[in-house]
């Protein structure tokens, strides 16, 4: 199982990478906009902090443009950067061309199982179904993850990893892992929520106050 951070904030990557469990980072144009910083500079800094796959997204809509952007990003950014393309026919063609050259591709904006299958056929390293955005429409995002994993079970030679994206709360991640999704990408807030439990905090306080008494009694 892999945990990716979904952010373009370098300080957030530094924080979560320090936990020792960060496997990669996903960015997208909206996250770059939110950061207010230069795209390539941000991705380069992130790639220095985390040696797993760092997704950098292309913005062309035609195959040639996506391939050109992807090759340019691969040439100018650190080697752990992989290329994110949208799940369109043009994106599929770009995925095939880039992956045939050994370049990792994350196919994003996947909203049904057929899109996931097609992206896997094109050689994607990752397919990214968006759970939260499906939930937003009244559909069941988790059911899409379940459906994709059932299909993957039928074809054990598929190497494409299923990356659960648009995760909005801790249960999304837990359910995706129960279903066997290979990877979950989550905002920093969710990483923090996953590690927070009031009984852990109160337990630590109790242990520390008892230990202070042990020390005061000269028994430490
Ligand atoms: O990884 C995809 C993610 O950035 C989208 O999340 O919350 O904007 O749907 P959200």
Residue 28 Cβ < 6 Å to ligand 1: yes
pLDDT of residue 205: 98
The distance from CA 197 to its chain's CA centroid, rounded to whole angstroms, is 24
Strand 24-26 and strand 54-57: pairing? Answer: parallel
Q: What are phi and psi of 216, to 5 degrees?
A: -60, -30
Residue 57 Cβ < 6 Å to ligand 1: no
**If DSSP codes are grouped into helix, strand and coil, which group holds residue 157?**
coil
Closest residue by Cα to atom 7, ligand 1, is: 166
Mutate to test the pocket of ligand 1, among 135, 165, 168, 173 (most ligand atoms within 8 A of CB): 165
Ligand 1 centroid, distance to 211 Cα (angstroms): 44
> For 128-152, b where at least 16 C-beta lie within 10 A, e where not — what string?
bbbbeebbeeeeebbebbbbbbebb
CA dihedral for 98, 91, 152, 131, sign (positive or negative): positive
Confidence class for position 215, pLDDT limits 50, 70, 90: very high
Pairwise CA distance, residues 217 & 220, whole Å: 8
**If DSSP codes are grouped into helix, strand and coil, which group holds residue 70?**
helix
pLDDT tens digits, 43-89: 999 999 999 999 999 999 999 999 999 999 999 999 999 999 999 99
Q: Percent of the chain having pLDDT more than 90?
A: 100
Written as six digits, the tokens of 78 are 């650190």
Q: Kind and range of the H or E element at 193?
A: helix 188-194
- Rounded to 5°, the CA angle 156-158-161 comes to 115
Can you give the residue ranges of every domain in the chain?
A: 2-219
The distance from CA 80 to its chain's CA centroid, rounded to whole angstroms, is 14
In this structure, whether the domain defined by 2-219 belongs to CATH 3.40.50.1220 is answered with no
Ligand 1 centroid, distance to 185 Cα (angstroms): 9
Residues forming beta bridges with residue 127, ordered by sequence position: 107, 162
pLDDT tens digits, 89-144: 999 999 999 999 999 999 999 999 999 999 999 999 999 999 999 999 999 999 99
Residues forming beta bridges with residue 86, ordered by sequence position: 108
pLDDT tens digits, 142-200: 999 999 999 999 999 999 999 999 999 999 999 999 999 999 999 999 999 999 999 99
Ligand 1 centroid, distance to 97 Cα (angstroms): 26
Residue 165 Cβ < 6 Å to ligand 1: yes
């Amino acid at each position: 199982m892999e945990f990716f951070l979904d952010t373009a904030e370098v300080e957030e990557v530094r924080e979560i990478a320090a936990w020792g469990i960060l496997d990669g980072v996903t960015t997208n144009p909206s996250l770059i906009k939110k950061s207010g910083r230069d795209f390539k500079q941000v991705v380069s800094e992130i790639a220095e902090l985390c040696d797993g796959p760092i997704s950098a997204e292309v913005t062309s809509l035609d195959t040639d443009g996506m391939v050109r952007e992807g090759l340019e990003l691969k040439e100018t950014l650190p080697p752990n950067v992989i290329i994110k393309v949208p799940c369109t026919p043009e994106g599929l063609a770009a995925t095939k061309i880039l992956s045939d050259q050994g370049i990792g591709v994350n196919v994003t904006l996947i909203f049904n199982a057929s899109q996931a299958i097609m992206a896997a056929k094109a050689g994607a390293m990752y397919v990214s179904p968006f759970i939260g955005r499906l939930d937003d429409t009244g559909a069941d995002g988790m059911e899409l993850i379940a459906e994709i994993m059932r299909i993957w079970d039928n074809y054990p030679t598929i190497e494409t990893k299923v990356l659960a994206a648009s995760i909005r709360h801790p249960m999304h991640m837990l359910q995706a892992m129960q279903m066997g999704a290979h990877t979950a990408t989550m905002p920093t807030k969710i990483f923090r929520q996953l590690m927070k439990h009031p009984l852990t905090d109160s337990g630590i306080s109790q242990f520390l106050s008892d230990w202070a008494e042990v020390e005061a009694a000269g028994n430490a």
